[in-house]
Amino acid sequence: MTEPRPVIAGVGVTHPPALRQDDLWRDFFAGHYAGPQRALARRIFANAGVATRHSVVNPLLEDVSRWSTKARMERYLVEALPLGKEAVTGALDAAGLDPARLGLFAVCSCTGYATPGLDILLARDLGMSPRTQRLFIGHMGCYAALPGLGTVTDFVASRGEPALLLCLELTTLHLQPPTRDPQQIVAHALFSDAAAAVVVVPGDVHSGGYTVREVTAVTDTATADHMTWDVTDQGFRMRLSPQVPDVLAEHIGPLVSDLLGRHGLEVSDVDGWAVHPGGPKILDVVRDGLGLSEERMAPSRQTLTTHGNCSSPTVLLIVDALRRSPAPPRTVVATAFGPGLTLYAALLSAVQPVAGSEV
C-alpha cells in the first residue's frame, strides 16, 4: 500500500501597506530618474503589469536609496519580525497546529541577514520547541519557495512530524541610487514585499489540503550571469538580463512535460497554474511555451497586478489564491525562476477531507 504523501495543511500570507504604482511614479520615481532616463523609466513603469505594490518603507516619506547596507539590514530585522509572525501564525491557525509540535522550521529570504536569524527569533517568540530543527535558505531568490517546499516535504515524509516553511522578502529596502541602467529600472518597477508561510503535515493525519507529489528543477549554468543579486555598500543590487525570457522559453516546456509525464499526466490535466510573475513577458513566455489559455494564467497575472513581484513568497501567494477560489483546482503546477538560471516546478494534488481527522 502506498504511504500517504505530505499535505499542505495551512497557508498564511501577510503584506505591508499597499502603494499605488501610479503614485509611486508620479511622486517619487519621476524625480528619481531625472534627465534622459525619465522617458524610458516612465514606459517601464507603465508596462510592468503592476497596479499596486507593498512596501515596508514608503519612498514618498522615506528615501532609502542612499542608505548603507548596515542601515538596511537593521531595518530588515525590525520590519521582518512582525510580518513573519503574522504569516506563521496564520498558517499554524489554518492547520490547527500548536507551534510546539513542529519538527522543522525553514525560512527563505534573500533580502536580509541577521544572526540570530529570523528562524531563531521567530521560533522563540512563537513558542516552538527547543528541539524544533531550523533551516535558513538564503540567496536563492524568486524560486526559493519551491526547493524550500521540497525540503520541508521530505522532512515530513521521512520523520512523520509537521514542518513549516516561511518565505519573507523585503525587496524595497534595496532601492538603489539613480541610475541609467534599464535593468535597475525594471527591478524598481516590479518588486514588492510580502511574507507567506505553509504548514506541511503527514498525509494520514489531516483532512483536505494539497499533497506535494514532486518538486523538480533544471539549472542552465551557462546563463548564470543573466540574473544576479549582488551585495554592495548601498544594499543589494539586481541584474536582470533581457535574455532571461529566452532562456525560460527553452526550458519551461521540457521541465513541466517531464514532471507531468512521471505521474501519467499532461498539461491538459492541470486545472491550476501558479506561475511566478517575474514580469508580463515572463508570463507570456510560460503561457506560450506550455500552450496555456489566458484563463489559466489569470491568477498569476492578477497577483502581479495586485501585489507586484514579491520574490520568493510570490508563488505561494498564487497557490493560496487558487486554493481559496470558489472552485479550487484538483491539480496544480507551481513554477518559479531565479538565479542560476534556475527553473523549479512542483506538482500538487487536492486531497479529500477525511471525517474525524485532525492534526
CA 321 to chain centre: 13
CA 337 to chain centre: 10
Task: Tell me: do 193 and 290 sit in the same domain.
Answer: no
69-95 vs 118-125: helix axis angle to the nearest 10?
40
Long-range Cβ pairs for the range 117-120 (8 Å, 24+): 118/77, 118/80, 118/81, 118/84, 118/166, 118/168
Domain count, the chain: 2
CA pair distance 304, 129, nearest whole angstrom: 37
Task: Tell me: do 183 and 265 sit in the same domain.
Answer: no
pLDDT surpassing 80 at residue 204: no
Task: Tell me: do 155 and 273 sit in the same domain.
Answer: no
Task: Tell me: do 218 and 172 sit in the same domain.
Answer: no
Alpha helices in 160-290 (DSSP H): 182-190, 244-261, 280-290
State residue 331's pLDDT score.
97
- The per-residue pLDDT for range 132-151, each reduced to its tens digit, is 999 999 989 999 999 999 99
Active site residue 110: no
102, 161 Cβ separation under 8 angstroms: yes
- The per-residue pLDDT for range 283-305, each reduced to its tens digit, is 999 999 999 999 999 999 999 99
Would 340 be classed as within a structural domain? yes
Would 41 be classed as within a structural domain? yes
Would 37 be classed as within a structural domain? yes
Domain at 64, CATH number: 3.40.47.10
Would 359 be classed as within a structural domain? no
State residue 205's pLDDT score.
56
Of the candidates 201, 236, 270, which is a domain's last residue? 201
Task: Tell me: do 186 and 226 sit in the same domain.
Answer: no
Question: Catalytic one among 108, 110, 142, 167?
Answer: 142
Would 78 be classed as within a structural domain? yes
Task: Tell me: do 249 and 158 sit in the same domain.
Answer: no
- Bond preceding residue 341 cis, omega within 30 of 0: yes
CA pair distance 65, 101, nearest whole angstrom: 42
CA pair distance 106, 197, nearest whole angstrom: 10
State residue 181's pLDDT score.
86
Of the candidates 170, 201, 232, which is a domain's last residue? 201
301, 49 Cβ separation under 8 angstroms: yes
State residue 356's pLDDT score.
47
Of the candidates 176, 201, 226, which is a domain's last residue? 201
Range of the domain at 322: 210-350
Q: Which three cell numbers stand for residue 323?
A: 486554493
- The per-residue pLDDT for range 236-286, each reduced to its tens digit, is 999 888 899 999 999 999 999 999 999 999 999 999 999 999 999 999 999
